[in-house]
Amino acid sequence: MVGAAQDPRTDIERRLTDLGVALPAPPTPLGVYVEAVQSGSLLILTGMLPVVRGQPQFVGRLGGMLTVEEGYEATRTACLNGLAVAKQALSSLNKVVRVVKLGVYIATEGDFHEHPRVADGASELLLAAFGSDKLPPRIVLGVASIPLGMAVEVELVFETEL
């Protein structure tokens, strides 16, 4: 219905504010690429890193220098950056129809096995923002290295209103 008030249950930005979650300024590329591309109804983001005000955070490997709790926070920080980029690209997170994909890549020591707990830093943020009906499938992988030595990288794909 045109002109109808936004249902507060679907007002994603208000939900985040009510939860005390402030989106950071969108990060800028650390190389020659763009942060987001809209293709039809899909908004595809570049890998999001745990960068705060242009500075790498959470440098090191999980199961080595970093704890599971630090990994969780790193993943949440990277996902917040993704939400900031999505808002910049769409002008409003309320244009997100659903989260189509979440990929979490974790720099780990070889004997690390707590990947799901680390990835929950992104999944729980997305759940809080969008609700369970928009929660995506996810893939979580341990990798040898991530740019700038950071601990995690988050991949997001959103379906958006056309």
Instruction: Report how far residue 111's alpha carbon sits from residue 28's, in angstroms, rounded to the nearest whole number.
Output: 33
Find the mean pLDDT for residues 37-58: 97
Instruction: Report how far residue 76's alpha carbon sits from residue 78's, in angstroms, rounded to the nearest whole number.
Output: 5
Domain 45-160, second-level architecture:
2-Layer Sandwich (3.30)
Percent of the chain whose predicted confidence (pLDDT) is above 70? 94
C-beta of residue 160 within 8 angstroms of C-beta of residue 86: no
4 pLDDT higher than 60: no
Task: Tell me the per-residue pLDDT of 75-122, one tens digit each, with 9 for 90 and over.
Answer: 999 999 999 999 999 999 999 999 999 999 999 999 999 999 999 999
**Exposure letters 92-110 (e unless 16+ CB within 10 A, then b):** ebbbbeebbbbbbbbbbee
How many other C-beta atoms lie within 10 A of the C-beta of residue 66?
23
Helices of type H across the chain: 12-18, 68-90, 115-130
Question: Greatest CA span in the chain, whole angstroms?
Answer: 55
10 pLDDT higher than 80: no
Residue 5, pLDDT score:
46
What tokens were used for 132? 């369970």
Q: Which of 70, 62, 60, 59 is nearest to 109 (CA)?
A: 62
33 pLDDT higher than 80: yes
Where are the chain's structural domains? 45-160
Residue 125 exposed, middle or buried by CB count within 10 Å (0-12, 13-18, 19+) = buried
| Mean pLDDT score of the chain | 93
